Chain A
Amino acid sequence: MRAVLTVAAVVIAARPVAADPMGSRVLTAPTAWLPPAGAATATLGIDHRGDTAAFVSASLDGLAELEIDEDGDVRGCTDCAMQRTALRLGRAAFRIGAHQDAWLHGMPALVLGVRATFAAYEPAVGAPRATDAYLVASRDLGVVRLHAGVDALAASVADHRSAAELRPLAGVELHPPMYPRSSLLGDIAWEPELEAAQGPVLRWMLGVGVRYQAFSWASVELAVRARQGDDLGGATVMVRVNAIARR
């Protein structure tokens, strides 16, 4: 309880920020940052297994964001004694929220987001779908940026549908003052694993990495992500490039 009060006091006493930072996700966990009005963002990524990811998003007047993406974060298996394979799903997300200090001083940024599947490319399992709805809060405290929220995840594979289950989301970004362009990232989020025989199961995914702000409009991320149930050798190393265009 004391720790919660301490964190709350630090958050409220933190310096007011001029504008929210950029980036709709830490590594896997979503943030509550919304792009400014008229901005469009794009992200391209690949991991050491060759699984790719692509995200594009557009701001709706700084009030909301519409994102379309393709990634392999959801995994599936038919013979689950073997290695799970990444399912390339096309997904769309709608995020709406409020910026930091929008309603009252010390308030974190808040975002309510929903992400739904609209396509599955060469799926290893039948009819994979994953949908999640989350509420996440983010606050920029200067050296550190905190993200916390709750995620309701539902998934289906073949004839198996799972009801929505709640899981926490958390992320942290450290910005050492001596390295103004670099930040250390860490997050935890849950993703469904679609077992064709047993149905969807939720598994956590832990990520650690760095982000280098190469230009005002582009950054590069290098990260390692490990999944629940995988040994250390199953962790993936990935690189991502983020870009933003402002009107």
Chain B
Amino acid sequence: MKHASNAILAAVLGTAAIARAQPPPDDRPKPDGASGDPRGAAPGPQSPPGADPVQPGQPAQVVTRPDGSVELIPGPPPPAARPPRAHKMRFPEVLNTPTGWLLPAGVLYSRNRIDTGGGVSSDSRVGLGDVAEFGVATTDQVHERQTDSSKEKSEVIQPYVTASFRLGVDENRLFKGQPGVTLGFRKSFEREHSGSKTRIAELTLVASKHLGPDVALHLGGAVWDASLQESAGAAMPPDPITLHGQGFAKQLRAFGGFEARPLPRSEILVDLSWAPEFCYGCANAGGGPAGGPAGGMGTIRLKPELAWGVRYQVASFMHIESGVRVPDIGNANLLDAQIFGQITLTSFALSDAVETLK
């Protein structure tokens, strides 16, 4: 019995030592010997030195020949590593006007701005399939005033919440030289302020075209509408005054912008936009129920705004913009000029995640 135990112990230790001496198991079978002959004696066909048909990391297929030799045949090359996606960002706005460019699919965009006039605005958007864009914003461009006096400074109605949807075609998508074109609609939620209810809506069609790699031009037209209902809390409030009741000419406005990139990370931006102004105590021209009764009070006007500034790319996901906005350029009103600063954050994370799923 004792001999048997010694034999068992010797067998276990010997087996363990042999097992430990073996290389760790590998998924891929390796040919024995230089020729691949498992017997290791008979010379077989040899590959020229340095011409191993199987490259490291390349999948291979094991083929056993009739003579018993084993040969590795390279399989199809592995799929090439996907190059990193180039994040091409096209901004949906110059400074205040929309552009003919849409956010790329799945890109999240957030712009937050303050200015010296006390205005605070925010704009959040998401790109939808490279052909559309949806956003919710608070704007500081809607103004109100009590009288038509030039001594009175108009005040900003804020927050003024709007939702927007834009669709369009990217530049050069349909044919070479085609500008980027977007059709956008922006509409506000009803806002009650100073006892009056106001709303705005804007339909825009804008084209954007690069003139060389570093210059771009934006031109568009907008159809505005707005309504003002004074004494909204009264038991019998008057009919609202609307912009469309004053004729199509009062609604239609042209706008545009210009971008130039003199430095790799910086752009100069200029744009001309329009902003509605509600005057509660101004006598309207009348002419109909929507335009207000003749001699009645309350007007809606569109005021031109000129803005210029610089967009500076601080990081791949962050841009800082700063500049000047003159709210009523029509009256050369320098006193109400505002200096603004804004931060724009963009994220391609969702876009990249969607691309990976494809």
Contact = CB atoms under 8 A, between A and B. Distances in A.
A117 B263 contact: no
Contacts of A133: 334, 337
Contacts, number: 77
Contacts of B263: 61-63
Interface string B318-345: 0010111000000010111111010000
B268 interface: yes
B150 A161 contact: yes
Interface in A59-96: 60-64, 66, 91-94, 96
A193 to B, nearest CB: 16
B322 A116 contact: no
Given A64-B322, A94-B322, A161-B335, A118 B116 contact: yes
A230 interface: no
A66 B335 contact: no
Contact of A61 (B150, B265, B335, B339): B265
Nearest to B149: A159
B310 A129 contact: no
Chain A interface SS verdict (over half): strand
B332 A60 contact: no
Chain B interface SS verdict (over half): strand
A92 B335 contact: no
B312 interface: yes
B324 A94 contact: yes
B356 to A, nearest CB: 34
A164 interface: yes
A60 B116 contact: no
A114 B266 CA distance: 20
Interface stretch (A9-17, A19-27, A141-149, A150-158): A150-158
Contacts of B323: 64, 94, 96
A156 B335 contact: yes
Interface in B287-304: none
B334 A64 contact: no
Contacts of A63: 262-263, 266, 268, 310, 312
24 contacts: A60-B312, A63-B263, A64-B310, A66-B322, A92-B116, A94-B309, A96-B323, A116-B116, A116-B117, A116-B324, A116-B337, A116-B339, A118-B116, A118-B339, A129-B335, A131-B334, A132-B334, A154-B335, A156-B335, A159-B151, A161-B335, A163-B332, A164-B334, A164-B335
Given A132-B334, A164-B332, 19 more contacts: A60-B310, A60-B312, A60-B320, A61-B263, A64-B310, A64-B323, A66-B322, A66-B341, A93-B339, A94-B339, A114-B337, A114-B339, A115-B339, A116-B324, A118-B339, A133-B337, A154-B334, A161-B150, A161-B335
Interface of B: 116-118, 150-151, 153, 262-263, 265-266, 268, 308-310, 312, 320, 322-324, 332, 334-339, 341
Interface of A: 60-64, 66, 91-94, 96, 114-118, 129, 131-133, 152, 154-156, 159-164
